[in-house]
Structure 1
Amino acid sequence: MIASSFPEKCVSLINGAPCWAVFFLFDLLDSFLCIVFRFLDEVMEEKLESCHCKNPQETTNFSGYELLSNDDKHLSETLYRRRNVFRQAGFLRFARKLPEITKKIGIVTFLRNFLFPHKMKKLHHEVANRWSDCGCKTCVSWTNTNKLNVILKQPSISQDLLMSNKSEVNVIFIHGFLASSSFWTNTVFKYLPETTTKTNYRFFAVDLLGFGDSPKPRDCRYSLKEHVEMIEKSVILPNNLSSFHVVAHSMGCIIAIALAAKFSDNVKSVALVAPPYFANSKGGASCDALDVIAEKKLWPPTSFFSAMMAWYEHIGRGVCLVVCRHHRTWERIIKIVTWRRKVPTAITELMKHTHQSAWHSVHNVICGGAKFTDKHLETLINSGVRINVVQGDRDAIVPIDCLWNMKAKFPAVKVEVIAGTDHSTVIMSRREVFVANLVSLWSSSGETQN
C-alpha cells in the first residue's frame, strides 16, 4: 500500500508544483494591482472605491463596505476570506497608506489637473460608469430606467378571450452568469406554446441586474436579495402576477429558488437547469462553493479562467478593462475576422456587464447564496411546489455531484441527467424536448385562475 501510494504522491506533486507557482504569482500580481487601481481611482474619479482585500471590520476610511456580521446584507464571506499569501503577510499595508502619501506629495492633484483640466467640476456620483468600464451610449442606456430589461412574449388576445375564464400561465425565465435574456429568446422561445382554447400564456425573460441591458449601478453589491427584489419590482408587481412558474439556468437557479421561496404561495413550479448546489457545512457553504466552482487548477482552460476571475478581484478588473471596456474594438475585429456583418449574440452579451456586477454576482449569488439555498428549498417543498432539475452528464462548469447532493438532501426534488450533454447543450441540443417537458410540468402543476 505504501509503495503504490508513493508514485501517486510524486505525480500529484509534479502536477501541483506548476499550479502552485502560477497562482503564487497571481497572488503577487493581484496585490500589486490593488495598489495600482487605488491610485488610478483617486486620479480618475477623485474618490477611492472600496475593494475586498482586507476584512471589512478593519475598514473605517472608505465608503462602500458593509459588515458581514449583519445577516440582512446577504454578502458572502468569500469576499474577504479568499486566501492570498501576500495579503496575509501584510503586503497591502502600503496600499492602505497610499491615499495619505499621495495627498502629501500632491501628485494626484497634479495629474488630475494635467489630464482632466476641464472635468474637475464633474462630481463623482454623476457618472454612471467607472473609468475602467465602457461609457458608450449602449452601455449607459440603463440610466433612463430603474427596472430590469424584460422581454415579454404573449400572443395578441382579443377582448373576448380576455373576458373569458381561461387559465393564465405566467413563466419567468432567468439566465445564468455572463448571459442575458437572449439565452432564452434566441433559443427556446420560438418553441414555446401559443394560446390554446384552455390557456393563455405569458413568458417573461429578464436581464438580471448588472447584465444585458439592465441597470448596472456602481454602488450595488449585487446580492441575492437585490436580484430578487429587482425581479419583483420589474416583473411580478407591474404585471400583477398572482401565480407563475420559474425556469432558470446555472447561476440563475439560485436566484430562481430564492424568488420562488419568497412567493411560495404564488409560484406553481420551478424548473432548474444545472443548478450550482452546495449544502450547508461546518466550513461554510459559501467557501465550499468557491472551492468547487473555482478550484485553483491550470486545466482545463475554463477552470483556470474561472479560478483567476473568482479569486483575484483586481486581475479580474484588469481583464474587464481590456475586454468589456473596449468591446466595440473587439466587435469590429470579430466582424473582420469572421466576415460577418453582425457579431454573434453570445459574444456581445458576454461583454455586457461590468467588473462590479460580475465579481459581486459570483460571490454574493453563487457563493453567498449557497448558505440560503437549503432554507429556500425547504420552504418550497413544504408549500407543495414542484421542483424539476435537469443536468448534462458532461457538465464541466457545475459538477454533477451538485445534482446528487440536492437529491439526497431533498428527495422530493425530481432530477434527470441527460447523457452526452454539457452545461449549455443540455438545453441547446434538445430545445423542442426541453420545452415539451416544461409544458408538461406547467400543465401538471395545478394552475389556478390569475
Structure 2
Amino acid sequence: MAGAMMRRMTQRTLNSSGLTLMRAGEAINVVLSFIVFFFIDILDFILCYVYKLADFIIESEWKSCYCSTTTTTTTTSSSITSAADNILVSELRGQPTRKVVRVSSSKIQLDDISDTLYTRSSVVYDVSRTTRRRRQGGEEGCCSHKLVKKTTGGRSGNATTAAATAAFTVNSTIVEILKEKIKSGDRPQTVPRWTDCDCHTCNSWSVSSTNKDTLFVKTEPKILGPPKDDFVHEDVLFIHGFISSSAFWTKTLFPNFSKSAKSTYRMFAVDLLGFGRSPKPNDSLYTLREHLDMIEKSVIEPYNVKSFHIVAHSLGCILAIALAIKHPGSVKSLTLLAPPYFPVPKGELQATQYIMRKVAPRRVWPLLVFGTSMACWYEHVSRTICFLICKNHRWWDFIAKMITRNRMRTYLIEGFCCHTHNAAWHTLHNIICGTAAKMDRYLEVVRNQLKCHVTIYHGRNDELIPFECSYNLQLRIPRARVKIIENKDHITIVVGRQDTFAKELEQIWKNSKGC
C-alpha cells in the first residue's frame, strides 16, 4: 500500500517536473524567437534596398516589391489596360482589405489575392511607414496604389449617361505585375531573373514552343494523347505540395503500383505552375484560379479526362478540394495527405492573417516552422535563400551525392530547389493564406454535393502541419476517414512507406468504383 502511494507520488513529481520543463522551453523559444526575428526584420529591410539597387544595375529597371516605398498615385483604368477595359476591385463586407477580382481585358482571373503579401507586421517597416505618413501629412501609405473604376450608367435609348467613379486601394506591386501581364498578353515572361536558376531543367519550358502554356506532366503508363473510345480506363491525378515536384510521386509510388493498377489506371503527376519543369512566368500572381486553369489545360482537356481520382499532398490538398468542387460529378475519390486546414474562429475578420500566424508563427523551433516563417514573412530574406539554394541547386545536388555516396534521394532536393522566388512567394500566400475565408465553403460543398470517398492521411510526427488539421477537416466532412500514421512526418508519410501506400491507394480506388 505504501509502495503504491510512493509510486503515485513519484509519478506526480515527474509529471510536474516535465510540465515545468516544457513551459520553460516554450518561454525560452518565445524570447529567443523575438530576438532572432527582430534582427531578421532589420535584415529584410536592408535587403529591400540592396535588391532594388542590384535589380537596377543588372536588369536595367527598378523592380517593385511588397514593401515598396513608392508614392501613392491615382490612376484610371485606361492607364492599366486600354481605354475600354477596367480593373474590377471588390470590397469585402466586414473586412478592411480590398481585393483585385478581375482584369477583363486579358481574361486574368485574380480571385482573392491575399493581403498577407503586403500587410505583414514588422517593427522596422511599421516605424518606417509611420514616419513617411507623418512626413506626407497623413496621406495614404507607401504600399498602396489607388485604382479608379469608372462605370457608365444610363437607360436604353437615352443619349445622356451618368459616369460614376469609385476609388479603391490596392498594393502598388500588384498593379505593376498586372501591367506587365497585360503588356505581354498571352506570352509569359520567360527570361529568368538574375537571382533565379537558368539551367535547362528549370527553364526547359522557356525554350520549347509547345510547353509555355502547359504544365510538365509525367504519366504512367506513357500516354501520347486521348484514349481510344473502346479503351476502358480510370484516371488518377497526383498533385504535389509546396516547393516540391511530380517526382515526389513518380520516384516513390509509380514504381510500386501493381501491373494490374498500371493497366487499369492512367496516372498523371504534374509539376505545379512555377515549380519543377513547369512554366515559371515572372508576371504571374500564382493565384488559385491560375493553378487550376493550368491543371485543366494540361491534363483534363488534352487527355479527355471525364472522371478521375485525386491524390494530393500538403498545399496540393487545397488545389485538390477546389478542383473537386469545380468538377463535382467527375471526382471519384479524394485522398489528402497532411491537409493544411486551420479553421478560422468566428468573429475573426482577418482570416488570411490568422492563417499566416498559424502556418508561420515566427518561432525558431521546430526548424521546419522556422523555415516556413522565413519563407512567409520575409520577401527579401526568402529571395536570398532562393538565390543561394535554388540558383545553385546543381552544386547542392552534387555535394549531397558526394557526401552520401549516391545514397540520398536527390529527387527531393531537385523538387525543393527547382522553383523561382516569385512562384514560391505568391503561391504560399495566395493559396495557403488567400483561401482561408473560402475553405469552409469549399468543404461544405464537398460534404453536401460530392459523393466521392474522402480519405485523409497524416503523420503523427508532422511538425509543419499538425495532425489535428486532419481531424478538423473530418469535422467538416464527417464521412472522411482519417488515418494517423505513427512515427511519420510531413515527408515520410510517403517516402519510406511508398510500397504500403501504393497498395492502400489501389484499394481506395477499387472501393470507389461505385461512386
- On whether the aligned pair clears a TM of 0.5, the verdict is yes
Tell whether 2:477 aligns with 1:410: yes
1:43 shift after superposition: 2.0
**Relative contact order higher in (CA < 8 Å, ≥ 6 apart):** 1
Q: Larger Cα Rg: Structure 1 or Structure 2?
A: 2
> Structure 2: which amino acid aligns with 1:251?
L
Corresponding letter in the other structure for 1:136: C
Matched, 1:439 2:506: yes
- Structure 2 residue identity aligned to 1:137: H
CA spacing shift, 1:416–1:334, aligned 2, 3 Å:
closer
Range moving further from structure 2, 425-434 or 240-249: 425-434
TM value normalised by structure 2:
0.72
SS, match of residue 415 in structure 2: helix
Post-superposition CA distance 1:119-150 (Å, at most 9, x none)? xxxxxx97610111122333221112221000
Match of 2:166 in 1: none
Q: Which amino acid aligns with 1:191?
A: N
1:187 is aligned to 252
Distance, in Å, in 2 between the alignment partners of 1:177 and 1:81 is 22
Residues 331 and 442 (structure 1), Cα distance of their counterparts in 2 relative to 1, 3 Å cut: closer
Q: 1:313 aligns with which of 379, 404, 412?
A: 379
Match of 1:42 in 2: 56
For 1:299-345, what per-residue CA distance to the aligned partner results, in whole angstroms no more than 9, with x for missing partners? 12222121112110100001111111122333343344444499822
Partner Cα distance (1:66, 1:340) in 2: 53
Residue 55 of structure 2 contacts residue 63 of structure 2 at CA under 8 Å; is this kept in 1? yes
Q: For 2:233, give the aligned amino acid.
A: E
2:41 is matched with: 27
Take 1:163 and 1:426, find their aligned partners in 2: how far apart are those partners?
Answer: 37
Q: Distance in 1 between matches of 2:339 and 2:25?
A: 33
More helix by share: 1
- Normalising by structure 1, we get a TM-score of 0.82
Question: What is the rounded CA distance, in whole Å, between the counterparts of 1:59 and 1:209 in structure 2?
Answer: 32
Whether the aligned pair in 2 keeps the contact of 1:193 and 1:201 (CA below 8 Å) is: no
1:349 counterpart residue number: 415
Amino acid at match of 1:412: R
Number of residue pairs aligned between Structure 1 and Structure 2: 413
User: Structure 2 vs 1, CA of residues 399 and 55 (structure 1 numbering), >3 Å: closer, same or farther?
Assistant: farther
Shift of 1:234: 0.2
Pair 1:32–1:203, CA change in 2 (3 A): same
**1:338-380 CA distance string (max 9 Å, x none):** 4449982211222101111111111111121232222222222
Q: Kindly provide the amino acid, as one letter, of the partner of residue 245 in structure 1.
A: H
Q: 1:138 aligns to what SS in structure 2?
A: helix
Cα distance, 1:86 vs structure 2: 1.3
Taking the aligned partners of 2:34 and 2:465, their CA distance within structure 1 comes to 23
With over 3 angstroms needed to count, the CA separation of the structure-2 counterparts of 1:275 and 1:211, relative to structure 1, is: same
| 8 Å Cα contact 1:265-1:383 kept in structure 2 | yes
Shift of 1:63: 8.7
1:135 partner amino acid: D
The partner residue of 1:69 within 99, 115, 128 is: 99
C-alpha deviation, 1:40, in angstroms: 1.7
Q: Is the 8 A contact 2:461 2:489 kept in 1?
A: yes
Residue 66 (structure 1) shift: 10
Q: Whole-Å Cα distance in 1 between the matches of residues 193 and 74 of structure 2? A: 22
Cα pair distance change 1:59/1:307, threshold 3 Å: farther
Which of 114, 125, 135 is equivalent to 1:87? 125
Whole-Å separation in 2 of the counterparts to 1:340 and 1:361: 32
Q: Distance in 1 between matches of 2:70 and 2:112?
A: 14
Distance 1:59 1:316, change over 3 A: farther
Residue identity over aligned pairs, in percent, reads: 38
Structure that is richer in strand per residue = 2
What residue number does 1:224 align with? 288
Q: CA deviation at 1:60?
A: 6.3
Find the aligned partners of 1:7 and 1:172 in 2 and give their Cα distance: 46
Residues 162-202 of structure 1, C-alpha deviations (whole Å, 9 max, x = no match): 565x64210000111111111101111122243479x7310
| Pair 131,299 (structure 1): closer, same or farther in 2 beyond 3 Å | same
Larger mean Cα displacement after TM superposition, 64-73 or 10-19: 64-73
SS in 2 for 1:51: coil
Letter in 2 for 1:244: F
Structure 2: runs of 5 or more not aligned = 1-16, 82-86, 90-97, 102-109, 136-140, 144-187
3-state DSSP class of the match of 1:417?
strand
User: What are the Cα deviations for residues 21-76 of structure 1, in whole angstroms up to 9, with x where unaligned?
Assistant: 11111111111111111222222222233322269995769999996423443211
Distance 2:219 2:364 in 1: 41
Match of 1:294 among 360, 364, 370: 360
> Are the counterparts in 1 of residues 219 and 266 from structure 2 also a CA contact under 8 Å?
yes
Task: Name the CA distance, whole Å, in 2 between partners of 1:180 and 1:35.
Answer: 32
Whether 1:397 aligns to 2:460 is no
Change (3 A) 1:56 1:422: farther
Q: Which runs of 5+ in 1 are unaligned?
A: 98-124
- On the 8 A contact 2:444/2:476 being kept in 1, the answer is no
Q: Which amino acid aligns with 1:267?
A: V
The verdict on how the C-alpha distance between 1:60 and 1:364 changes in structure 2, with shifts beyond 3 A counting, is: farther
1:323 aligns with 2:361: no
**How big is the alpha-carbon RMSD for the aligned residues of Structure 1 and Structure 2?**
3.5
Change in CA separation of 1:141 and 1:66 when aligned onto 2, cut-off 3 Å: farther
Task: Tell me: CA distance 1:66–1:397, structure 2 relative to 1, closer, same or farther (3 Å).
Answer: farther
Query: 1:52 and 2:66 equivalent?
Result: yes
Q: Which residue of 2 aligns with 1:139?
A: 202
The corresponding residue for 2:94 is none
Secondary structure of 1:87's aligned partner: helix
